[in-house]
Structures are given as structure tokens and as C-alpha cells.
Amino acid sequence: MLLAFSYPGLSQVRPGAWLDSPPRRWNKPGMSLPHAPTANRDKIAPVCKPLPDRRDTTEESALTDAGWLVFISKNDGHGLTVVGASADLDGMCRPNRYQDFAFVNGKFAGTLSPKLMNARSDGASSTVSFASAGKIIANFSRYTGRDPLCCPSAISVATYEIREDSGRPIVVLTGVYTHTT
């Protein structure tokens, strides 16, 4: 079991503060896939266009239909897929207001963060991988007020597992370990 601890310099008002607390549930069995927040995509830098319209999988199509811009999709080969999608992009084409969405055999199982994330900010996911069937590992950047945007001073490694609740898949945070970089 991984243990959570507070990293000095990360206050509870920072966006990634949820990673410093004991694991809690924010996903509910059978919850609906959320729609992307309203974004003025005309303000996205021309270098970032054409905007992605990924529909290679059922999961990508569902997110695109809900207004999200899909930027990455990973599958564990056992029916578990995690798709990263954002509402818009910043001036360097990085995701703004993004989320990592988990699906099991095409059914939405929840998100890897309780809130939307922004690139190069505290609590932003940076990598997602699979430990084994039904197990997800995600790295989250941890910034203090003194860190340059290139270089978070810590990384929180979050572990998740897929469970079944009321006959529906649900992604559950099982632990977080934070270490300095």
C-alpha cells in the first residue's frame, strides 16, 4: 500500500492539494460523461490548428461528441482505456482545462482527478500507465510558488484500480506517494 504525505511548500489551496489528503472517492458508478466546459476555440493559436477531431475509438468519439479535444489515448489490452482530453489549448498547444477519463470496455468509469487540470500547474497529470489488468498509475506534477514552470519540485504518483459497484465499473484512487525530483 502506498501512503500519502504532505510535501513541504504545497499548501492546501493549491490545485493539486487533493493529492496530499487520504484517498477519497469523487467518481460514482454509472455517472455520465461530463461535457467539456465552454471554450472560445477561436482564441487558440493558429499554430495549434487544425484542432484534433479524434474518433478512432468509441471512447474518443464519445469525448469528441461531448466537446473535448482528445490528445492521447492508452489501452491496457484488457478493456481498460484512459483518454486525455482538454477543453482548449494554451498558446504553446498544451492542454488547458483537461482531464484523464477512464473507460472499461467502452463504459465510462470516471476520471483520474477530481478537478480539471492545466499544463504546467500544480496537480497536472503528466503520464499514465498500467501496472496490470485493472490497475492505473498516473504521475502528477507538484509545483511550489518558487518552482519555474519547466520544473516541478515534486511528483505525486497516484495508483488506481477499477472496481465494480452496482454492476458498473468505477475508477478508485487507492494511494498516492509524493517524492522530490
Note the pLDDT tens digit of each residue in 90-127. 888 999 999 999 999 999 999 999 999 999 999 999 99
Q: What is the pLDDT of residues 125-172, one digit of tens each?
A: 999 999 999 999 999 999 998 999 899 999 999 999 999 999 999 999
Is residue 8 assigned to a domain?
Answer: no
Among 81, 72, 55, residue whose Cα is nearest residue 125: 72
> How many domains does the structure of the chain reveal?
1
Place of cell 482564441: 43
Is residue 160 assigned to a domain?
Answer: yes
Distance CA 111, CA 43 (A): 27
Q: What is the pLDDT of residues 26-70, one digit of tens each?
A: 999 999 999 999 988 888 888 887 666 788 899 999 999 999 999
Among 102, 111, 106, residue whose Cα is nearest residue 58: 106
Is residue 163 assigned to a domain?
Answer: yes
pTM comes to: 0.90
Is residue 4 assigned to a domain?
Answer: no
* Helix residue ranges, H only, the chain: 58-65
pLDDT in the model for residue 15: 87
**CB within 8 Å of 49: residues ≥ 6 apart:** none
